[in-house]
């Protein structure tokens, strides 16, 4: 893209996902662009994925990796709820995903995600899980190449 001066403008930022916890829940904001370097393949990607009625996940990294593993997490959470007859907590769901990511460490996955949810006993919760199996709880995260 060229600026009015005729010089090329350099846009090196990609995905940006942001979330923070407040008294009433978790606020999550994401962009909708899929890109690889300077190539933009889509402007309408949905980067917030439904996991359960009280849990969502965000996508940053490889869209295929993020979508596959977060949808798989949704199936595992549903199984947990059917077997145990209670809702899975945000902590337990994020731990499941972190364990999966850790078991595939070194396989070249590209996935940075936030798991956000609301638990009946503890209230709102937010975790970041990356493709190395790292899992961190905090009140605020920004994940993706556009978050630097």
Q: Which band of pLDDT confidence, cut at 50, 70 and 90, is reported for residue 82?
A: very high
The residue that leads in pLDDT, 12 or 14, is 14
Into how many domains does the chain fold?
1
For residues 74 and 12, the model is more confident at: 74
Structure tokens at 98: 């972190």
Instruction: Report which secondary-structure segment, H or E, holds 111.
Output: strand 111-119
15 annotated active-site: yes
Is 26 part of any domain?
Answer: yes
Answer whether residue 73 is part of any domain.
yes
Distance CA 32, CA 48 (A): 9
Predicted TM-score of the model (pTM): 0.84
Would 146 be classed as within a structural domain? no
10 belongs to a structural domain: no
Tell me the average pLDDT across 31-52. 72
Task: State residue 16's pLDDT score.
Answer: 81
Domain membership of residue 120 as a residue range: 17-138
Catalytic one of 15, 16, 90, 113: 15
pLDDT given for residue 30 in this prediction: 80
* pLDDT at position 55: 96
Task: Say which CATH number the domain at 83 has.
Answer: 3.60.20.10
């Amino acid at each position: 893209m060229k600026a009015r001066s005729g010089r090329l403008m350099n846009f090196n930022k990609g995905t940006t996902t942001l979330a923070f916890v407040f008294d009433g829940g978790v606020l999550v904001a994401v962009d909708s662009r899929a890109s690889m370097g300077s190539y933009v393949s889509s402007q309408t990607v949905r980067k917030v994925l439904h996991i359960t009625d009280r849990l969502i996940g965000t996508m940053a990294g490889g869209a295929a990796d993020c979508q596959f593993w977060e949808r798989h997490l949704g199936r595992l959470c549903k199984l947990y709820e059917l077997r145990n007859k209670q809702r899975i907590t945000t902590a337990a769901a994020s731990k499941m995903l972190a364990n999966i990511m850790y078991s595939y460490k070194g396989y070249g996955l590209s996935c940075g995600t936030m798991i956000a949810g609301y638990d009946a006993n503890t209230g709102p919760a937010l975790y970041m899980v990356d493709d190395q199996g790292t899992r961190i709880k905090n009140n605020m995260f920004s994940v993706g190449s556009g978050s630097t």
